[in-house]
Structure 1
Amino acid sequence: MKKKQTDLIIPDEVLINKIYYLRKQKVMLDRDLAELYGVPARRLREQVKRNHDNFPTNFMFQLTEAEIETLLAHKAIPSRRNLGGNMPYVFTEHGVLMLANVLRSEQAIKVSIKIIEIFVRLREMLADNTMLRKAIESLEKKTDNNTKNIELVFQYIDRLLEEKNNPTERASVGYKLSKK
């Protein structure tokens, strides 16, 4: 008897492309999550409405018209018709995890785990980039200071060369003896 394979094969790139940055948060659209979880989008919305207390605003929020226009402009959604006539919900990392608990399907749990892993990797990449950016900024400050010092040295050298090429008459120092 063959063992049934329950591992989902969803490329990371597919999931990463379904993560958007709205209201200073990484979020996923309800229709994308419904597709990944293998449920109709209306069923996902029904479960969210039934369990509304499980989804505070830092877990899920509904998009505004302006945000929908932004998603359309960035080709995140092909058209308004693709939304099914509803204002879509978006879910943060914590909302994605809560959705798996509300939907209670094996596929939802597995997909949620994979999505959470990607959110964690994105956060780590952002932290690495932040540290790299700070290191580069530190080097730039040092370079700026070195550049200023080098410019100052060249100014002194130019002044010395100018004085050497254009000597000024100096008054003699000491006593003058008369020639008698």
Structure 2
Amino acid sequence: MQLQGIQRKIYEIRGHNVMLDFDLAKLYETENRKLKQAVKRNIERFPSDFMFQLTREEWKKLITNCDNLPEGVKFSPATPFVFTEQGVAMLSSVLRSSKAIEVNIQIVRAFVYLRQYALTYKELAVRLKDLEGKFSDVAQAINYLLKKDQQETEQKERRKIGYKPE
């Protein structure tokens, strides 16, 4: 799968970029049930910052906001597991297939790309804020000069009072 296709399957939940278990199972070309069994057998490898299960409310919100979820999973009685970048990396050691290793490399690259994009975006936002401040100063100076010029023009156009020598 291409990097962009993987990136579309990364969601932000609880402040983490995560992937859903059924998306990972599809990428690894295994059944979701088998993926979950492997995780449960090795649960000590998956602390809460590597993997967590969505609450009903989180799952409903995700279903409401995402059009690209498969129809079959939307009505599943169990809420999905979600895996952070570290959790995805741990999955390759649990699944132990060449496909899992190959797919993991692509997924980790997608997470890294998203992180770099986010850093670039934050950097850009800081620079724009700095420029905004500088332009604010320039705008104030230009307004001051325009007002001063306008006042001088008004003074010149004013009718002069006093004696006019002929």
TM range (shorter): 0.7 to 0.9
Secondary structure of residue in 2 paired with 1:28? strand
Q: 1:59 to 1:168 in 2, by over 3 A?
A: farther
Using CA pairs under 8 Å that are at least 6 residues apart, name the structure with larger relative contact order, 1 or 2: 2
Q: Secondary structure at the match of 1:21?
A: strand
Query: For 2:69, what is the secondary structure of its paired residue?
Result: coil
Aligned partner of residue 47 in structure 1, secondary structure: helix
Q: Does the C-alpha gap of structure 1 residues 22 and 76 become closer, same or farther in structure 2, counting only changes over 3 Å? A: farther
CA deviation after TM superposition for structure 1 residue 55, in Å: 0.7
1:155 is displaced (CA, Å) by 1.2
- Is residue 21 of structure 1 aligned with residue 12 of structure 2? yes
Whether the 8 Å CA contact 2:10–2:18 is kept in 1: the answer is yes
CA shift in 2, pair 1:168/1:58, >3 Å: farther
Gaps of 5+ in 2: none
2:45 to 54, 60, 63: 54
Q: Is the 8 A contact 1:71 1:77 kept in 2?
A: no
Aligned to 1:30: 21
Select 1:134's aligned residue among 121, 126, 144.
126
Instruction: Say whether the 8 Å CA contact 2:63–2:74 is kept in structure 1.
Output: no
State the identity as a percent.
37
Q: 1:31·1:83 contact (CA, 8 Å) conserved in 2?
A: no
Question: Aligned partners of 2:15, 2:146: CA distance in 1, in Å?
Answer: 47
Q: Which amino acid is 1:18 matched to?
A: K
Q: Does the alignment pair 1:102 with 2:94?
A: yes
Q: Structure 2 CA distance, aligned partners of 1:48 and 1:158?
A: 75
Which amino acid counterpart does residue 129 of structure 1 have in structure 2? Y
- Deviation at residue 83 of structure 1 after TM alignment: 5.8
1:88 equivalent to 2:62? Answer: no
| Partner of residue 61 from structure 2, selected from 46, 70, 79 | 70
Q: Which runs of 5+ in 1 are unaligned?
A: 1-9, 171-180
Does structure 2 retain, via aligned residues, the 8 Å contact 1:72–1:79? no
Query: Residue 85 of structure 1 aligns to a residue in which SS?
Result: coil
> Which residue of the other structure, out of 40, 58, 61, is the alignment partner of 2:31?
40
User: Matched residue pairs, number?
Assistant: 161
Q: Whose helix fraction is larger, Structure 1's or Structure 2's?
A: 2
Q: In terms of Rg, which structure is larger?
A: 1
Query: Which letter maps to 1:126?
Result: A
Query: 1:98 Cα deviation (Å)?
Result: 0.5
Q: Structure 1 residues 83, 97: CA separation in 2 closer, same or farther (over 3 Å shift)?
A: farther
Q: Does 1:152 align with 2:144?
A: yes
Q: CA deviation at 1:81?
A: 4.4
User: Partner of 2:52: helix, strand, or coil?
Assistant: strand
2:112 to 93, 102, 120: 120
Evaluate the alpha carbon distance shift between residue 80 and residue 107 of structure 1 in structure 2; reply closer, same or farther with a 3 A threshold: closer
